[in-house]
Structure 1
Amino acid sequence: MPEIRNYSSALSHRIFKVISLAAEELKLESYVIGGFVRDHILDRGEPKDIDIVAVGSGIELAQKVSSLLPHKPKVQVFKTYGTAMLRAFDMEIEFVGARKESYNEDSRKPVVEDGTLEDDQNRRDFTINALALSLNDKNFGDMLDPFNGFEDLKSKIIRTPLDPDITYSDDPLRMLRAIRFATQLNFKIEKESLEAITRNKKRIKIISKERITDELHKIILADKPSLGFTLLHKTGLLKIILPELTALEGIDEIEGQRHKDNFWHTLEVVDNISENTDDLWLRWAALLHDIGKAPTKKFHKKIGWTFHGHEFVGSKMVFKLFKRLRMPLNDKMKFVQKMVLMSSRPIAIADDNVTDSAVRRLIFDAGDHIEDLMTLCEADITTKNPKRFKKYHNNFKVVREKMKEVEERDHVRNFQPPVTGEEIMETFNIKPSKEIGMIKEAIKEAILEGEIPNEHEAAREFMLEKGKALGLKPVEN
């Protein structure tokens, strides 16, 4: 007999008393299960999601709970899945009737039948998510732990309740969830389970891209994303999901000349940037910043290995990758593209002799994302040589100081030329034409090169000179 543990202290919030009362009135058994129990034991902060299992109708229990709460929250019913959800006390509470499931090979959608609590625990993905606390009067707060999930929590192990081959084949999304939990919690996936993921990796193809992407986001947002990407790589899932990344692995050597392994370098960069930002899309930019290196890799006898234009090629690859994974093709994608495209720019000017002109162009081209770009480039420093590491970071300090100085003086971030197209047309009495664009471009270049200050009078004088060179005559006042 397993030891009975009681966690009444975890159920002190009034919502659990309300659920218990509602279940008693309906003559149902009710339990809180899954993440709430796991996270309470791990002391992972205040819960936002609570899963309730009723041995009977979860929908009826949700409706009863709503009727007992003062504000009568709206109950969302999902009849197809036999579930219901309501929001109360800043928490989402989901109700489901205990059930057992069976699967067809070509779908992760199960055939569902009513079942017991034990049936419901059997269908859970991992032992640490099968822990349940009773909300019933006779044993309120008692833990029901049929698979030793408590011990797995203490040992930091991810393990499936039943045969892992069946668990992962039935619902292949669980393979990604195993890796995601291992990454978020810094747990190890039990050997049998890890081998089962490798055996069943091709089953991931039946999972929707949206579901896959959701798990990838959670892995990327973990404290140390490389843990997850290493497991994805080890199991073969990464090659199926993100072949652009696995294509970076390996070190080639010709005539004694080698290049670094850009795959493992990339994972270091993602970990580095994760120490400084929680921005999902900036972390994606770190993950994808070198994907153009695989298709642009070349060896030249005189100069060795090169990756010319990898930033441009990589930025184009970002669009295809986002589209394939059903990620947003909006400003988020454009931001990642821009970061990949510009990822080497600050590095190229990071020395003591950096010119004002180079810094002006960097600020102008990066616009509001200049800080994000600098954060990415600093994360890109993965050298293990202490002297080089210090030198590179000192060079970036020089660039940052120069940026501050130039921006305060020249105000080039997102600047618009001081002379408008309308002013050019009025000055030379011309209609919209290519000459207007030529003059505006020339003014922009002159400001960025430091030939003229970013001021209206100087820009107007330059406009008159440029117009004259193009054969235009100003209208006399």
Structure 2
Amino acid sequence: MISSKPLDIPCSLQERKVLEKIALAAHELGVPAYLIGGFVRDKLLGRKTKDMDIVCVGDGIALAHKVAESLGNNIPVNFFKTYGTAQVKLNDLEIEFVGARKESYREESRNPEVSAGTLQDDQNRRDFTINAMAISLRDIDYGSLLDPFDGLADLDKKIIRTPLAPAQTFSDDPLRMMRGIRFASQLQFTIEEGTFTAIQENAERIRIISQERISDEFNKIMLSVKPSVGLDLLYKSGLLKIIFPQMIDMVGVEMYEGKGHKDNFYHTLQVVDNISENTKDLWLRWAALLHDIGKPATKKFEPGHGWTFHGHDAVGGKMVPRIFGKMKLPLSEKMRLVKKLVELHLRPISLTKENITDSAIRRLLFDAGDDIEGLMMLCEADITSKNKTKVKRYLENFELVRRRLKEVEESDRIRNWQPPITGEMIMETFGLKPGRIVGDLKSAIREAILDGEIPNTYEAAYAFLLEKAGALNLSPVK
């Protein structure tokens, strides 16, 4: 029944068997079915993908149940009647089923009015040509590529282009503007000129999109191999000014008395790219994005010296919670990590100078804790000079700092330091109630250890405590 013709896309043996079962189920239900969208695109590009989208001219939920039954092992079907979609998971493969549809939009909403449609209707509503390609699972042309908008040619040219008029495409669903930029960033493609012009002309429409959806696309851009591609397109399109105005404040170079500072926006994009070469951690990339966010507020020209940004680390740290709140990002340990790294990103640089004390090293270890590696990674990414000699010197200095950090940590065990004498122990020893004196004694012990006055041991800390308490006329309770 199913043609032996090979698929027009490369697939694994498991994927081929699944597609054959889907084709058979569709035949038995009498509904034409097609593999469509991102799976087709990514297979043609040789990218890994685990998500199959199946569109059928008929009931997608019924097809999903039929396919799950044929796969056996009591595979569950997750379906959503309101949207006419269903999902089946098979090992690491996620298969989504939907009936072909056509859409119409109202100006004030991105939620379309949906009605049943043909394959052509469904391809017409797709965001970009490279996402509108389909593979037929019908008997008569099984495995054939159905590509009405030359998406295959656009893949070859590495172009992002809309199937229909771009202005209408983006006006209907403004989130597609961010998706287009995200695909350009992920795939390292170019957005076709007319398509990009339409994004610029419709940028204000992004305001009708929920912040959660905007941030989801923004984070996907941040996770691309070279995030600066997408971030720069967001800026040039006018979208960044609307969704993240604090970034726009960093754009440009101001000259005064013949002196200018570097463009902090493009410096930041380079830092994000630099750190992305070494980590896929989204929140370390966010720390790179925000490390200089406090500079516009602290910029000042000092005669005889030039431009300064004193305190931009502290100011930037205070901005992080507000930015995360506005962007609807998690106000949890993720935000606290980014805030900490923004506040500390200048500290390791100061440690590259000569005659840095062990005390300064201990304090950095104490403040950074387990995030010290992420901090050092950020500091190294922050080197964006085109002078290779200067870059080499900076990296060598940071390597010296790393060695000092390791040596001090091995001898003093300061990272994630817990006081050898707790507040409870102080209260019990001297018969005190909670109050300022207990806090002062705890702080004195901590400072003495960080300054290297006493070793980080219980015995040394207890002896120091007795000495300090004696000066306050406190005696141990007998």
Instruction: Mark yes or no: TM-score above 0.5.
Output: yes
The letter of the residue matching 1:301 is P
Q: Quick check: 1:74–1:86 contact (8 Å CA) kept in 2?
A: yes
Gaps of 5+ in 2: none
2:316 equivalent to 1:319: no
Q: What's the counterpart of residue 11 of structure 2?
A: 10
Q: 1:93 aligns with which of 92, 95, 108?
A: 95
1:293-332 to 2 correspondences below 5 Å? 293-332=295-334
Summarize the Cα distance change of 1:418–1:9 in structure 2 as closer, same or farther, 3 Å threshold.
closer
1:329-348 to 2 correspondences below 5 Å? 329-348=331-350
What is the deviation of 1:177? Answer: 0.6
What is the deviation of 1:309? Answer: 1.5
Q: What's the counterpart of residue 117 of structure 1?
A: 119
Question: 419-428 vs 28-37, which deviates more?
Answer: 419-428
Aligned length: 472
CA RMSD in angstroms, aligned pairs only:
1.4
Summarize the Cα distance change of 1:423–1:35 in structure 2 as closer, same or farther, 3 Å threshold.
same
User: What SS does the aligned partner of 1:424 have?
Assistant: helix
What is the deviation of 1:9? Answer: 5.1
Q: Distance in 2 between matches of 1:421 and 1:97?
A: 65
Summarize the Cα distance change of 1:11–1:407 in structure 2 as closer, same or farther, 3 Å threshold.
closer
Q: Quick check: 1:351–1:398 contact (8 Å CA) kept in 2?
A: no
2:293 equivalent to 1:291: yes
User: What SS does the aligned partner of 1:299 have?
Assistant: strand
Summarize the Cα distance change of 1:143–1:407 in structure 2 as closer, same or farther, 3 Å threshold.
same
Q: What's the counterpart of residue 74 of structure 2?
A: 72
The letter of the residue matching 2:389 is K
Q: Deviations over 1:43-89 (max 9, x none)?
A: 112x3100001011111111111121211321112122211111113
What is the deviation of 1:271? Answer: 0.4
1:2-401 to 2 correspondences below 5 Å? 7=8, 10=11, 12=13, 13-45=16-48, 47-401=49-403
- Taking structure 2 as the reference length, the TM-score comes to 0.96
User: What SS does the aligned partner of 1:72 have?
Assistant: coil
Question: 133-142 vs 65-74, which deviates more?
Answer: 65-74
Q: Quick check: 1:134–1:143 contact (8 Å CA) kept in 2?
A: yes
- Taking structure 1 as the reference length, the TM-score comes to 0.96
User: What SS does the aligned partner of 2:95 have?
Assistant: strand
Question: 277-286 vs 454-463, which deviates more?
Answer: 454-463
What is the deviation of 1:14? Answer: 1.3
Q: Distance in 1 between matches of 2:270 and 2:201?
A: 28
Q: Distance in 2 between matches of 1:388 and 1:221?
A: 29
Q: Quick check: 2:101–2:122 contact (8 Å CA) kept in 1?
A: yes
Question: 160-169 vs 66-75, which deviates more?
Answer: 66-75
Identity %: 59
Summarize the Cα distance change of 1:74–1:214 in structure 2 as closer, same or farther, 3 Å threshold.
same
Q: Quick check: 2:58–2:99 contact (8 Å CA) kept in 1?
A: yes
The letter of the residue matching 1:426 is E
Q: Distance in 2 between matches of 1:6 and 1:421?
A: 70
What is the deviation of 1:379? Answer: 0.3
What is the deviation of 1:138? Answer: 1.3
Q: Distance in 1 between matches of 2:354 and 2:97?
A: 63
What is the deviation of 1:11? Answer: 7.5
What is the deviation of 1:417? Answer: 1.7
What is the deviation of 1:8? Answer: 6.7
Q: Quick check: 1:418–1:454 contact (8 Å CA) kept in 2?
A: yes
Q: Distance in 1 between matches of 2:293 and 2:400?
A: 28
Summarize the Cα distance change of 1:404–1:8 in structure 2 as closer, same or farther, 3 Å threshold.
closer
Q: Deviations over 1:301-353 (max 9, x none)?
A: 24322212211111121111111111111111111111111111111212232
What is the deviation of 1:474? Answer: 2.8
Q: Quick check: 1:291–1:310 contact (8 Å CA) kept in 2?
A: yes
- 4+ runs deviating over 3 angstroms: 8-12
What is the deviation of 1:140? Answer: 0.7
Q: Distance in 2 between matches of 1:253 and 1:30?
A: 62
